[in-house]
Chain A
Amino acid sequence: EAGVTQFPSHSVIEKGQTVTLRCDPISGHDNLYWYRRVMGKEIKFLLHFVKESKQDESGMPNNRFLAERTGGTYSTLKVQPAELEDSGVYFCASSPTGGRPYNEQFFGPGTRLTVL
């Protein structure tokens, strides 16, 4: 079974440009999460999809970030326009539904974003 995949693995862009990150979750996983690690600090939650719906987007830093999950399959995270402080590693994770007290979240390898 394929794991969570993310594309691209690395992205280097200039300040003010737009970048779109993609995540393909494990097939059948309704839950999809975005996290990011900035400047070697803690990994922080950005948002959570259940199928195509945004369940929780409390971690999105500002309106320059837009996440979508078309048809409840893959998800994209667009940053427009990118700022220097957006540099970091963006992780995607997916999990199934129904387990208690916790459904394991399976993580992708991350996308390293560098804004110059």
Chain B
Amino acid sequence: DAGVIQSPRHEVTEMGQEVTLRCKPISGHDYLFWYRQTMMRGLELLIYFNNNVPIDDSGMPEDRFSAKMPNASFSTLKIQPSEPRDSAVYFCASRSSRDRSSYEQYFGPGTRLTVT
């Protein structure tokens, strides 16, 4: 398996623009997580899905952020409008509910977002 795939790897945009980050989880994984990593706040859980349904979005910073999972193999995280303080590395991770021995989450390589 190719692992969790994220695109783009780098995104530079201007304040006010819409940004869409994409994630393809590992095939067969039924949980998908979106995280944001910054120097100031560390790694924060934004939202997670189970079987394509959002379960907990309490970590989403504000209404400018939205996430969707239209099917088991694709999820998006959208920021509209973007602001400089959204600059961070955004990670997608997935796991399988059948793995009850390790509860391991598999992380993608991340998308480094810079908003100028």
* Bound pair (A, B): no
B interface residues, Cβ below 8 angstroms from A: none
